[in-house]
Structure 1
Amino acid sequence: MAWRLRLAPEKTNFDFFKHQWLTFGGSVVLMLLAFVAWGFMGLNFGIDFKGGTTLRTESVNAVDVGAYRAALEALPIGDAAITEVFDPNFGPDQHVAMIRVSAAEQDEALSPELLNEVKAALVKTDPDLKVVAEETVGPKVSSELVWTSVLAVAITSLAIMAYIWMRFEWQMALGGVVALLHDVFITVGIFAFFQLKFDLTIIAALLTILGYSINDTVVVFDRLRENLQKYKTMPLRDVMNLSVNETLSRTLMTSITTLIAVGSLLVLGGDVIRGFAFAIFMGVLLGTYSSVYVAKNLVLFIGLDRSDKPKKSDKSEFANVDA
């Protein structure tokens, strides 16, 4: 018989409700602290949300991100994001970079004089460098991006809630969405508390977190639905504990393999994607925790209708869809 790695015993009997006021209550406290961090410290918005200028440069010499950044640090500007562009259609002597620069003061446009100084500093670093394109994002457009991002997260959460409602019960839909918001709010709260850069890549990470977290929650809920039909007289709390224990090995294996991949990006990916990788890393940790300790706890508090009458979900075309 081949040897297989197990992150959890084949059969476990953990009581995930034993310290429910500590685990679920701790999540509530963390969410409140996240709101406090947003309100009093605010988010450290990047160029996408503050406005700024994007320069596209080309040179026959290789892009030296460190040298570009060092040249811009001496100027009275705000944030500077430098990204090398790779394209298979580029020639061997065509090296392209995207440089996004914001003004020192929030919602203040970069003046033409200061923009010329930025270009001069880059050319001084590489005399062969040419600015081939220039684009400016004003405060009005950047503020619209903020609301569009919030709307994207809200619509995604509502769509997920509708799907779970049709597939399971409204109590599970509510528990699943609260667990998702728990993951998103605490992640954003961490960015606010530590004043980490918050830009459109972080919004992409938050949307990824929503998709990842609900996947694990749906697996637990699917097993819970099966066990509710199998153990009709068992107390709801015991059925929930049984369901989580039966899916525990799958939860740990999925989470740890994901964390290994994201952790590699976090350590080795560089400054460009470090914020994105960190958001995903925290989201995976929080998503695993919320699937076990938040979603099902809320369902237990609300209660489920365990009568033998036909359920609305039994008539739905989603009832027989595999998880």
Structure 2
Amino acid sequence: MGQRKKAAVLSVLLVIGSIVSLAMNGIQAGLDFTGGVQVEVGYEQTADLEKIRSQLSDAGFSPVVQHYGAETEVIIRMQENAQVLPIDPLTEKPKTVNDYVEETLRADGDALEIKQFQVIGSVIGEELRDDGGIGMLAALAIVMIYVAIRFQLKFSLGAVAALIHDVVIVLGFFSVFKLEFDLTVLAAVLAVIGYSLNDTIVVSDRIRENFRLLRKASPVDVINESLTQTLGRTLITSLTTLLVLAALYFVGGEMIHNFSIALIVGVLVGTYSSIYVAANILLAMHIDREDLMPTQKEGELVDDLP
């Protein structure tokens, strides 16, 4: 806790930087939220991703092309743009996106199979985006109620402040580096909320216990001792989690790269916030052992805390 003021300045700078980036650059929403076309293609030979991107770009699309499982399996995501569709000379009507994409990919004689063609409407994308935002807010509200009931309102405010701190910084990271934000990343953000909350509750439980045991210690000393006692557990948990996430990132395939990145950033920030942010909020609200004493009813004697 001797470094809490420096940590507070760092947190404020990171949050402000994230908010500024989100306001100026926004988030590069994926097709799950914006709507568009998703095509799964199977090739007989190893697929050349650069060639596929070039073919679709020349046809007027702006594709995102990735391997999907094996090197012969490809998933293509792109916005549906009716303006690029040529006229079919037989029907004298614009070709469908499905036909035009398949025709473009077969133009060089490549042997391939369109395994799945999915069009995600913009209305559905907006609903997914809104539902995801509501789900995140609901998670924070439930966390606040749970911590308030289990501990005390000041602990609840500190925990929620730490969670908001983590979520904003993860979103800011994706905004600064212009990484695609889709449903898998949203799931990662919600997982970060759960991970960070778990650490915060462990620390809060130790703080409550030490307030009752260390009667003559100041709040700063109590919190400092509590954090020191839980620091080893926090760091070991974070390290083992990061090892798994690193494995997911390097060998899990391109489809879950952004999911892994969101969790890696979230675990790092969540570990930091469980040590500094929540505890700093408690000290800023002048937490004391009286806040954790049971309420005395009129005419009732309350035994001294052990």
TM-score (norm 1): 0.79
Say if 2:16 is the partner of 1:32.
yes
Q: 1:100 aligns with which of 77, 87, 107?
A: 77
Deviation digits for residues 27-50 of structure 1 (CA, Å, limit 9, x no counterpart): 112111111101111111121122
1:310 equivalent among 291, 294, 297: 294
**Contact 2:28–2:180 (CA under 8 A) maintained in structure 1:** yes
- After superposition, the C-alpha distances for 1:133-182 in whole angstroms (9 at most, x for unaligned) are 43322222212222111111111111111111111111111101110111
**In structure 2, what is the equivalent of residue 290 of structure 1?**
273
User: Structure 2 unaligned runs (5+)?
Assistant: 86-93, 297-306
Corresponding residue for residue 277 of structure 1:
260
Residue 73 of structure 1, CA deviation: 4.1
Aligned CA distance change for structure 1 residues 214 and 63 (closer, same or farther; 3 Å):
farther
Q: Distance in 1 between matches of 2:3 and 2:96?
A: 58
Task: Give the structure with higher Rg (CA).
Answer: 2
Residue deviations 1:270-316 (CA, integer Å, cap 9, x gap):
3221111111110010000000110011011112352384159xxxx
Label 1:101 to 1:23 Cα distance change in 2 as closer, same or farther (>3 A): same
Counterpart for residue 64 of structure 1: 47
User: SS where residue 135 of structure 1 aligns?
Assistant: strand
Structure 1 CA distance for aligned equivalents of residues 202 and 27 of structure 2: 34
Q: Which moved more, 1:239-248 or 1:165-174?
A: 165-174
Matches within 5 A, 1:1-323: 16=1, 18-57=2-41, 61=44, 64=47, 66=49, 68-69=52-53, 71-82=55-66, 84=68, 98-103=75-80, 111=85, 113=95, 115=97, 116-124=99-107, 127-131=110-114, 133-307=116-290, 309-311=293-295
Q: What is the aligned residue count? A: 284
Aligned sequence identity (%) = 33
Change in 2 beyond 3 A, CA 1:110/1:166: farther
- Relative distance call for 1:166 and 1:134 in structure 2 (3 A) is same
Call closer, same or farther: CA 1:126–1:215 in 2, change over 3 Å: farther
Distance 1:182 1:143 in 2: 25
Residue 124 of structure 1 and its aligned partner are, at CA, apart by 4.0
Residue 71 of structure 1 contacts residue 125 of structure 1 at CA under 8 Å; is this kept in 2?
A: no
CA distance in 2, matches of 1:31, 1:214: 18
CA drift of 1:83 comes to 5.3
Pair 207,309 (structure 1): closer, same or farther in 2 beyond 3 Å:
closer
* Separation in 1, partners of 2:59, 2:293: 71
Offset of residue 226 of structure 1: 1.1
Q: Distance in 1 between matches of 2:8 and 2:238?
A: 20
Offset at 1:70? 5.0
Residues 182, 233 of structure 1: CA spacing in aligned structure 2 closer, same or farther, 3 A cutoff? Answer: same
- Contact 2:68 / 2:253 at 8 angstroms: preserved in 1? no
Q: Report if the CA contact (8 A) 1:109-1:138 is conserved.
A: no
Deviations 1:79-129 (A, max 9, x none): 42545369xxxxxxxx8755332247xxx8985647233211333467543
Q: Aligned to 1:232, what secondary structure does the other structure show?
A: coil
Shift of 1:233: 2.4
What is the alpha-carbon distance in structure 2 between the residues aligned to residue 133 and residue 70 of structure 1?
Answer: 21
8 A Cα contact 2:67 2:253, kept in partner: no
With the length of structure 2 as denominator, give the TM-score of the two structures: 0.83
User: What secondary structure does 1:247 align onto?
Assistant: helix
